[in-house]
Structure 1
Amino acid sequence: MTFIVAVDGSEASDHALAYATDLAARLDTDLLVVHAVEPAVVDTGGDEPTGFDDAAGRLVAEAVEDAEANAERVLSAAANDVREAGVGVETELLYGPPLQVIPDVTERDGIEGLFVGHRGLSGRYEGLVGSVAKGLVERSSVPVTVVR
């Protein structure tokens, strides 16, 4: 039996990791800690663009190498925390949107549950764009525990 914990370096995912680690220790099971790499495109701000050239000057894309390096730091820190608690742990770097790649991992043999941090979005915003936690609950093939 193995539990998956999806981490992103946020405080909410740290809480999910701690909760899953405690439960795994009591059940004498292992954790698979995953992080989905999806380089971000960031709008540097300013007034609304008047044309494509204006928008292109404001958008900055994160390099895949930078996203991978950040992901490895997040996974390494998480694995260290789990090991310190005496729980067996493996890590896996996934590539793609979290709502597509994490549910695929839940379909593997021996996976019994998924733990993910909750992100406190307002009801209006969440209704408009959804949240990763909500999407994982809807798409995962195993029970999902959302931790605050």
Structure 2
Amino acid sequence: MQYLVAVDGSEPSTEALEHAIGVAKRLDARLLPVYSVEPRILVEEGETAPSFTEANDRLYTEDISKAEERGERVLEEAESRIREAGVESESSLLYGDPVDAIAEFAETEGVEGIFVGHRGLSERVEGLVGSVAEGLVEHATVPVTVVR
């Protein structure tokens, strides 16, 4: 039995990780912590920034290697906490839109469920950038536990 837990280093994802660890211990299950690196749109000096439509409503200026480094750090911290709790785990760095990447990975790995933190964004902000938790609830093919 194995469960996926989405982590991003935020307080809500840490709470989701702690909840997932508790469940995994009770069920003698394995945890699969994942971090999704989103593709970034880089605007070079002198270039015109793409419109929001062209940028798929997301505009970032972060180097992919920095995003990967951050993801690896977050996963290492999650793995450390999981090991301390005596739970078996295997982490994965995913690429792409978090909702799509996490839902697809969960299906491919045959997990029993997904744990994800709730960001608590305002309705206005959530409407602009979306919610990974909400997207997973709508698109995942396995049960999703949203931890507040």
TM-score, normalisation: structure 2? 0.84
Q: CA separation of 1:109/1:62 partners in 2, compared to 1, >3 Å: closer, same or farther?
A: closer
Q: Is the Cα contact below 8 Å between 2:39 and 2:97 reproduced in 1?
A: no
Identity over aligned pairs, percent: 55
SS of equivalent residue, structure 1 residue 107 = helix
Q: Is the Cα contact below 8 Å between 1:39 and 1:61 reproduced in 2?
A: no
Q: Is the Cα contact below 8 Å between 1:5 and 1:116 reproduced in 2?
A: yes
Q: Within 1, Cα distance between the matches of 2:104 and 2:118?
A: 20
1:110 Cα offset (Å): 3.6
Task: Name stretches of at least 5 consecutive residues in structure 1 with no aligned partner.
Answer: 44-51
Q: Within 2, Cα distance between the matches of 1:130 and 1:118?
A: 12
Q: CA separation of 1:20/1:104 partners in 2, compared to 1, >3 Å: closer, same or farther?
A: same
- Report the AA paired with residue 74 of structure 1: V
SS of equivalent residue, structure 2 residue 113 = strand
Task: Describe the superposition over 1:104-127 as per-residue Cα deviations: whole angstroms up to 9, x where unpaired.
Answer: 012135410000000112234434
Q: Give the number of aligned pairs.
A: 138
1:50-61 aligned within 5 A: 55=49, 61=61
- Report the AA paired with residue 117 of structure 2: G
> Where is the strand percentage greater, Structure 1 or Structure 2?
1
TM-score, normalisation: structure 1? 0.84
1:41 Cα offset (Å): 5.2
Q: Is the Cα contact below 8 Å between 1:7 and 1:35 reproduced in 2?
A: yes
1:53 Cα offset (Å): 5.9
- Report the AA paired with residue 10 of structure 1: S
Q: Which residue of 2 aligns with 1:30?
A: 30
1:55 Cα offset (Å): 5.0
1:128 Cα offset (Å): 4.9
Q: Within 1, Cα distance between the matches of 2:75 and 2:37?
A: 11
Task: Describe the superposition over 1:63-121 as per-residue Cα deviations: whole angstroms up to 9, x where unpaired.
Answer: 11111111000000000000000000100010111011111012135410000000112
2:104 aligned with 1:104 = yes
Task: Name stretches of at least 5 consecutive residues in structure 2 with no aligned partner.
Answer: 51-58
- Report the AA paired with residue 23 of structure 1: V
2:6 aligned with 1:6 = yes
Q: Within 2, Cα distance between the matches of 1:129 and 1:60?
A: 12
Q: Which residue of 2 aligns with 1:143?
A: 143
Q: Which residue of 1 aligns with 2:87?
A: 87
